[in-house]
Chains A and B, each alone.
Chain A
Amino acid sequence: MLELVTFSLLNGVVYGLLLFMVSSGLTLIFSMMGVLNFAHASMFMLGAYCSYSIGLKLGFFPALVIAPLVVAVIGAAVERYGLRYVHRQGHVAEILFTFGLAYIIAECVIMIWGRHPIAYRIPEVIDFPAFRLFGTTYPFYKVLMMAISIGMFAFLYFCFRRTRIGMVIRAALTHPQMVAALGHDVPRIFVLVFAVGTGLAALAGVIGGFALMTEPSMAAALGPIVFVVVVVGGLGSIPGAFLASMLIGIVQTFAVALDYSLLDLLGTMHLTVSRDSPFFDLVSISLTRAAPAIPYLLLVVMLIFRPMGILGTREA
């Protein structure tokens, strides 16, 4: 039991960090521009696919650096040549633009890499056991995933808090007009933030691509969960997004690991539900099978009891 809990916790943290990498970029973009980027998860997918293709030619470590940069450039171009013009038509037009973009990116991925999942396996250079716990080994690549995410956040936090450009960005978050009046090019800061946000998502895609399945529908599968993270954490709050990512990552990992159902719970109380009962379908669902619904259930419960999210200040 202790073994199961420890490993589930470790895996949950890895998954949570991955979620946070994607959702922090989304939150950053949202709080700066008020844009809810539906194509954000698509950038995650592009990161995974690009690193696969680059990795085939140059190996894993160059891909780890190049792929996020390539996607960040794509993100910057999207902001500079698309979103900036749609921005004038209001938020609904922006959402629709990114929604259409997500659709087109998914189709383009099919057009380049095909309809089926690609064989993006764990690169051999990082596929060895890192340590041994309770007689079971823990793979190095998961440790690396954790290290890369944490390192990235430390770096960004440093840039945000300790550098001049970080200070300008923080000022532009709340007082864009004042920052512009002081002579800073605010639209260029927007492009930069958008590029950093999409680059983060792509980096998550690079290290998450081989852990999850790399296929054209992976953006559509991850996107809604990232949105749940953003709402549950509190819209626009990066610490909130961190807590929500960890919560959802750990809860979902545990749900997958625990193969129990309501039926088993009732069984411990010496209650049985007959197979013919109309409720049998419902109570016999195991936690494993219910795992995909858990984030959304959390979202609805959150909205009923605490609409502003964990750390949000305004009501969602």
Chain B
Amino acid sequence: MTEASGAVVAQSAPPLADRVGKHRLWIAAALLLLVLPYIPGLSGNFGRSLLSQMGIAAVFALSYNLLLGQTGLLSFGHAVYFGLGGYACIHLMRAINGGLPIPMPLVPLAGAATGLFFGLLFGSVTVRRAGVIFALISLGVGELVYAVLRMLPGISGGEEGITANRSIGPHLLGLTLAPQLQVYYVIAFWTFVSALLMYAFLRTPVGRMCNAVRDNAERAEFVGYDPVRVRLTVFAVAAMFAGLAGGLHALNYEIVASEAVGAGRSGAVLLMSYIGGVANFLGAILGAVVITWLQISLSDYTTAWQLYLGLFFMLFVLFAPRGLAGLLLMHADIVRTRAFPALLRAYAVVLVPALVMAVGAIILLEINYRRATQPEAGTVMRLFWIDMDSSTPWPWLGAIVLIAVGFWLFRRSLALVANAWQRASGEARAAAGVSR
């Protein structure tokens, strides 16, 4: 009904409305970025800083998605371009502090240029082969850059890093960049522009060839495109946006340290893109938002948050290789069917034993983690509103029982979901058949 009326409006109205309709997702995204820092819960300094971090992560993850999702290049060294872009920007910021007349909000462009330069430089060596070999080489290049930067403390500042001040310099449009809100808007602006440009890039012939090279390099070559050149192009573009993200990082934290190029950050961006879903452009953004939020909120509760993140990642690799975006898309056709409520009920039923299992696992991990990393904190710890003493066998036994019972019930209740899913997807297929 709404679609039909929308079509009528589009026919009778001037082309402007048509254009608005075509780009409504982007316009909505821009509006969302504008109002986000005023939404209750996000309007404090913490919320705005969280949003800024999400923006940076989103640009970085999107640039990674160009490689892994669109071109099938699995990189373990993407942070190289992030970090080098960040270093270029922090040094530029220091020069601006010293009197160079460049407005701070334009600094990330220097990061982009640096990323592009190093992307072309290292890309020309690394993209000759895809797949496993590329993964290995990207890891080697990442380690090389990290090791070299550690040797040059004058440039990298080592582990302590290089600092600068973002509010000293010429003020563009009266932006001092002292309040977090202004930094957020600068980051949001660049995030929006980068996402738009990357999306546009994928619509160009080169962008389409990326997918062709990913799916079948030999055939792409047969059509007349050199896969190596396609890979190099996308590698350089991805490095450019990673460098821009590094520049945003420099602007946000006012410090860049050697960990910015390190293997940990390369792994983190892989985690984000993969959990979000690599096959989908929006997946990277979804992953960046969810993982950034998880990192920050989990680290408040537990020192073992990296372990949970790793387990989370493994669950996706094993059971949902298309990521969060893939899980959501699976349900796109099913939401409208009459069997959907039954599917939701089945999900709710399965969730109970899954949670029981998770609680058991969390207790086991937490008491072990505490015992090994903070022996001085004593054996008693409060988990799920209960004081547990790990020197007695009860928490261990309880946790193991919870896991076992949860697992048994989970296995049994899975059939419910399978049945509901079959009914709902059958109905969705039938509906699609009728409309055709």
Contacts and interface: CB of A to CB of B under 8 A. Distances in A.
A163 interface: no
Contact of A96 (B141, B151, B317, B368): B317
Nearest to A115: B373
Contact of A111 (B68, B135, B151, B307): B307
A304 interface: yes
A107 B309 CA distance: 10
Given A231-B136, A299-B137, A316-B129, A92 B72 contact: yes
B386 to A, nearest CB: 21
B333 interface: no
B403 interface: no
A95 B132 CA distance: 8
B135 A95 contact: yes
Nearest to B307: A107
B318 interface: yes
A300 B274 contact: no
A281 B152 contact: yes
Interface string B104-144: 00000000000000000000011011011101110111011
Contact of B140 (A86, A89, A111, A299): A299
B321 A224 contact: no
Contacts of A289: 151
A36 interface: yes
Contacts of A296: 140-141, 143-144, 147
B372 A92 contact: no
B366 to A, nearest CB: 10
Nearest to A224: B143
Contacts of B143: 224, 296
B154 A235 contact: no
A111 B304 contact: yes
Contacts of A228: 140
B311 interface: yes
A97 interface: yes
B42 to A, nearest CB: 30
B154 A281 contact: yes
Interface string A106-150: 011011111100000000000000000000000000000000000
A300 B137 CA distance: 8
A282 B154 CA distance: 9
Interface in A59-81: none
Given A36-B135, A114-B372, A299-B137, A104 B321 contact: no
Contacts of A303: 125-126, 128, 137
B426 interface: no
Nearest to A280: B154
Chain B contact residues: helix, strand, loop or mixed = helix
B358 interface: no
A220 B314 contact: no
Contact of B372 (A82, A85, A112, A307): A112
B280 to A, nearest CB: 16
Contact of B137 (A89, A100, A231, A315): A231
Contact of B314 (A104, A110, A227): A104
Interface string A194-237: 00000000000000000000000000100010011011000100
A99 interface: yes
Contacts of B270: 96, 99
B144 A297 contact: yes
B8 to A, nearest CB: 46
Contacts of B369: 110-111
A77 to B, nearest CB: 15
Interface string A219-262: 01000100110110001000000000000000000000000000
B355 to A, nearest CB: 21
B421 to A, nearest CB: 20
A224 B304 contact: no
Contact of A110 (B68, B141, B373): B373
A58 interface: no
A235 B133 CA distance: 9
A91 B132 contact: yes
A154 interface: no
A103 B72 CA distance: 22
Given A114-B372, A316-B129, A96 B140 contact: no
B74 interface: yes
A99 B372 contact: no
B378 interface: no
A238 B131 CA distance: 21
B284 to A, nearest CB: 16
A101 interface: yes
Contact of B318 (A34, A86, A224, A316): A86
Nearest to A301: B125
A60 to B, nearest CB: 24
A91 B147 contact: no
B293 interface: no
Contact of A95 (B74, B128, B372): B74
B76 to A, nearest CB: 8
Contact of A224 (B139, B150, B267): B139
Interface centre among B131, B136, B321, B372 (most CB of A within 10 A): B136
A100 B317 contact: yes
Contacts of B150: 292
Contacts of B311: 104
Given A111-B372, A113-B372, A300 B151 contact: no
Interface string B341-374: 0000000000000000000000001001100110
A93 B372 contact: no
B140 A101 contact: no
B151 A293 contact: yes
Interface in B210-262: none
A285 interface: yes
Given A82-B318, A307-B128, 12 more contacts: A36-B135, A100-B313, A103-B306, A104-B307, A107-B304, A111-B365, A224-B139, A227-B136, A227-B139, A290-B151, A296-B140, A300-B140
Interface of B: 68, 72, 74, 76, 125-126, 128-129, 131-133, 135-137, 139-141, 143-144, 147-148, 150-155, 263, 267, 270, 274, 304, 306-307, 310-311, 313-314, 317-318, 321, 365, 368-369, 372-373, 375
Interface of A: 34, 36, 82, 85-86, 89, 91-93, 95-97, 99-101, 103-104, 107-108, 110-115, 220, 224, 227-228, 230-231, 235, 281-282, 285, 289-290, 292-293, 296-297, 299-300, 303-304, 307, 315-316
5 contacts: A85-B318, A92-B74, A228-B140, A289-B151, A300-B140
